[in-house]
Structure 1
Amino acid sequence: MTFILESDVRARAHRRAKSSGQTPQDVLTDLAAVRRPRFDIFLSQTTRDAEIVLGVYDLLVEQGYSVFCDWIAAPEVSRSQVSPANAAFVRGAMMICDTLLFLDTEQADQSLWMCWELGWFDGNKGHVAILPVLADKTLQYRSREFLGLYPYIEVDEKGQLFLRRPVVVGPTGITILEAPNQRSFQGWRSADASEFRPRVMGAWREPTSQY
């Protein structure tokens, strides 16, 4: 198992764009021209990563998945502002998607929308996973903050997607490795959403008053 590398998805994006004589963003716009009643994947990402998004989009579509990318499918909707109308549009898009993949890159933490999308999808639908795209020769994925609560995507030697369960530290500080530790992406999509969702390890105790 290995992680998806930035150089690989950028090379894939370059090949796709070169073959059509377009920019990565133009290719994505053309790909999204066909509207669907439902999508397999809502790809939560930032517009700053157009080239990486194209590479990942191409990878997922090649494996047979339909992918919704909001700023591609609806370029007329401004993503630069947070407003009730924009939120309603994104919420409606997520409603017709079965799973959410959070595209974690160096630019992702600057997005106005991605964390909100992840939280909404987790609370309302459940099938949420992190898709890290790492710099070359990065041996480990060190998820930031609450992203570490969610399963993350790796690929096998044939390029097939697998889900890896995150390591959990229990209330006593002991590392807990739950089983099953991994499963195919398609298998996870077909399973109960609660199987790999964040869970509480040990009893939660209310803080005691100091007064």
Structure 2
Amino acid sequence: MKKKLLAMASMAVFLISCNQDNKKQEEKTQPVSHVMTKEEQAKLTPDEVLKQFIEGNKRFRSGITTVRDHSEQVRKSAPGQFPKAVILSCLDSRVPVEDVFDQGLGDVFVGRVAGNFVNEDQLGSMEFACKLAGAKLVLVMGHQHCGAIKGAIDDVKLGNITAMLAKIKPAVKMSQDFQGKKNI
């Protein structure tokens, strides 16, 4: 077994060392088709969900993810979904939230917007996820090499992007004394 510490480009929430064990992947031959039930969701605590995400992220970074039967999960979740969490993430296609945390269909609600900032629509979606759908955790996930953050730092002006970046600029201003490279 090799120990690795991966500074994952698509993940700014956790940096955890992990073990790679290829035998575990070989043992998983039957794809998972289970979806979370309302009863299973009700038993979860925010700490348990966070622990599941940390463990799922370890699997993702080590390349030993859960093999899932997505078609079957879609059919099984059609009558209802009972997410563990709601995650605010960036629009960036390199950050597939369910994959990053090794979660199945129906396990998480994901709000995506370039620069992963929150606005009234995102807050309403988070309220829905928690108060009506029973999500146990709200997680904001950033990543490296974010084009929206770079655009706000570089003061890009272009159509509707200008108004969107204006919502990020207060955070840029708050970090103006940071001495390292800001727009990577």
TM-score when normalising by structure 2:
0.32
More strand by share: 1
Q: Which has the higher contact order (CA 8 A, sep 6+)?
A: 2
